[in-house]
Amino acid sequence: MNRVASVLDRGQNVRKAHWLLRHPLTSYFLLAYLISWGLSLLATRGLLPFPVPPLVGAVAGFLYHFGPSLAGVILAAVEAGRRGVRSLLRPLGRLRVGIAWYLFVVSYPILLRLAAAGIGAALGGPAPTFFTSNALGMPAGHPLVIAPLVFLGTLIFAGLAEEIGWRGYALPRLQSRYSALAASLILAAVWAPWHYNPLNFPLMRGVLVGHMLSVLGMTILLTWVYNGTGGSLGLTVLFHGFSNFADWAVPTSPVYGGDVRTYGAYILLNLIVAATIVLIFGGTNLSRRAAVRHL
């Protein structure tokens, strides 16, 4: 009897795996949301009908960031086992790209926000409050002292926690079926609402439209960086990390204490840059190189 049950269980697991393999992108997006939103729900007080131990809630509040990348690792393992996971993670070490890419990744997020702050001030807005540690839940201190800690946090909890999934797993598979621009639009439509989980929603609900437009521009830029570097997931992680680091250094979003005029200028400038990339490089690849596709 136990042997029969074991055989049935294995057959059921095989059928589940086959469904995941037939619908990898749908499975990925659902799993990314399930992990992140489930953990976020545990971390949000008062939403569940039972008490959550403080330690469990605190751990869930850290781990929910990793839903996209964890989902990518799980699906890669289902598809091809250890070989699939190694293939997914290998592009993190693809860092030998032109120096111009590093200059862009490091400088663009700061320069964009400084330009937006200037426009916001010219329109009558207040000067930005630089290095807003409290808005990010960081301890107060001299910027030079806490900057490495902030950057490490954004690199891990934004770059690594998300990009192994969004750009490492999902983007190449989307580009196997659609143009780079269409793949970016689809990914932006999934990526933006992912941020509105139970823990984040109270902060984000006042800037939903602006945030969606911001994510749209950022998604196109990330695809451009990813394809332009030949699929360097490491550079993509750095770009995402530096972009979130810049939100601390030069806050533009009202979520981090920025002014509405500055935020509007930031969104518009970012979309102009994204549209310029589309016009110059074309929507097929968003790059002089061929789009990186899943084999």
* DSSP secondary structure letters along 167-188: IIIIHHHHHTTS-HHHHHHHHH
In a domain, 289, yes or no: no
In a domain, 94, yes or no: yes
Question: pLDDT digit string (tens) for 121-180?
Answer: 999 988 878 887 555 555 566 777 788 988 999 999 999 999 999 999 999 999 999 999
In a domain, 291, yes or no: no
CA distance 62 to 247: 19
Average pLDDT along the chain: 90
Structure tokens at 182: 């269409």
User: Is the model more confident about 131 or about 230?
Assistant: 230
What is the average pLDDT across 270-287?
A: 97
Nearest partner of 198 among 57, 42, 86, 40, judged by Cα? 40
Determine the angle formed by the axes of helices 233-249 and 143-154, rounding to 10 degrees: 140
In a domain, 198, yes or no: yes
Cut 0.85: pTM above it: yes
In a domain, 294, yes or no: no
Nearest partner of 108 among 96, 120, 116, 118, judged by Cα? 116
Question: pLDDT digit string (tens) for 86-119?
Answer: 999 999 999 999 999 999 999 999 999 999 999 9
In a domain, 290, yes or no: no
Q: Domain count for the chain, please give it.
A: 1
Residue with tokens 């992108």: 25
